[in-house]
């Protein structure tokens, strides 16, 4: 989306509901409604639109939507997958804040993983995913990885690709 097209596309609303899986479980990004609302020559939006649970805090503060805003949102999506929790808890707590605090303390996020998926043989992959999430959620936009880097790292983790 950021690197495979001639025209740069900023999604602005990356969340699980906008990631569809085909019959081979290959993800497809959908709902580019917000990206159409942003003028092609601008990255600033007059109003903030989208699901706040997945939204880049820098975008919320500045109105500046960048490729790294989508990276932040993707980090929240991966966090939901490995924790099996929603980005915003019903009690008002934030999954992102809880995760980052736990990771900062432990340098691991094992306590936040869903017990069913935190089996011993998967812990290395989960820890690698947690590391990617931490990088994607960095409040310093310049320290976030590019989506191409995230995609490469995810492909390396795919056990079906190993010989």
| pLDDT average, residue stretch 24-42 | 60
**CA angle at 90 for the pair 111 and 59, rounded to the nearest 5°:** 85
Q: How many domains is the chain partitioned into structurally? A: 1
Identify any residues that bridge with 28 across adjacent strands, giving them in sequence order: 20
Who wins on pLDDT, 113 or 30? 113
| pLDDT average, residue stretch 7-13 | 65
Mean pLDDT, all residues of the chain: 78
pLDDT band at 38; cut points 50, 70, 90:
low
44 domain-assigned? yes
CATH for 20: 1.10.510.10
pLDDT band at 47; cut points 50, 70, 90:
low
93 domain-assigned? yes
Q: What is the DSSP letter of 19?
A: E
Radius of gyration of the chain (CA): 16
3 state SS of 64? strand
**Long-range CB contacts (within 8 A, 24+) of 28-35:** 29/1, 35/9, 35/10, 35/11
Percent of the chain with pLDDT over 90: 25
- The yes-or-no answer on residue 13 being catalytic is yes
Identify any residues that bridge with 21 across adjacent strands, giving them in sequence order: 27
Rounded to 5 degrees, what are φ and ψ at 44? -85, 140
26-35, 40-49, 140-149 — which is least confidently predicted? 40-49
Of 68, 72, 80, residue with least CA distance to 17: 80
pLDDT tens across 72-129, in order?
A: 999 999 999 888 888 875 555 688 988 898 888 877 777 777 777 777 777 888 889 9
27 domain-assigned? yes
**Domain hosting residue 119, numbered range:** 16-161
CA separation for the pair 123, 129 (Å, rounded): 10
Q: For 69, left (φ over 0), alpha (ψ -120 to 50), or beta?
A: alpha
Residues whose CB is less than 8 angstroms from the CB of residue 68 and which lie 6 or more positions away in sequence, other chains included: 56, 58, 141, 142, 144
146: its two tokens: 């590019």
60 domain-assigned? yes
112 domain-assigned? yes
5 domain-assigned? no
50 domain-assigned? yes
49 domain-assigned? yes
pLDDT band at 9; cut points 50, 70, 90:
low
Of 114, 151, 116, residue with least CA distance to 136: 151
Which among 13, 31, 56, 70 is annotated as catalytic?
13
So what's the pLDDT on residue 85? 86
């Amino acid at each position: 989306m950021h690197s495979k097209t001639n025209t740069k596309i900023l999604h602005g609303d990356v969340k699980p509901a906008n990631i569809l899986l085909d019959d081979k479980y290959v993800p497809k990004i959908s709902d580019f409604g917000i990206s159409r609302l942003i003028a092609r020559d601008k990255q600033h939006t007059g109003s903030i639109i989208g699901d706040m649970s997945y939204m880049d805090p820098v975008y919320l503060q500045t109105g500046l939507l960048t490729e790294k805003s989508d990276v932040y949102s993707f980090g929240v999506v991966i966090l939901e997958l490995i924790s099996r929790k929603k980005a915003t808890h019903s009690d008002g707590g934030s999954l992102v804040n809880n995760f980052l605090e736990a990771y900062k303390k432990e340098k691991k996020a094992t306590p936040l993983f869903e017990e069913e998926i935190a089996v011993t043989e998967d812990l290395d992959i989960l820890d690698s995913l947690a590391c990617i999430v931490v990088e994607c959620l960095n409040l310093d936009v310049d320290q976030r990885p590019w989506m191409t880097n995230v995609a490469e790292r995810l492909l390396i983790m795919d056990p079906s690709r190993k010989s």
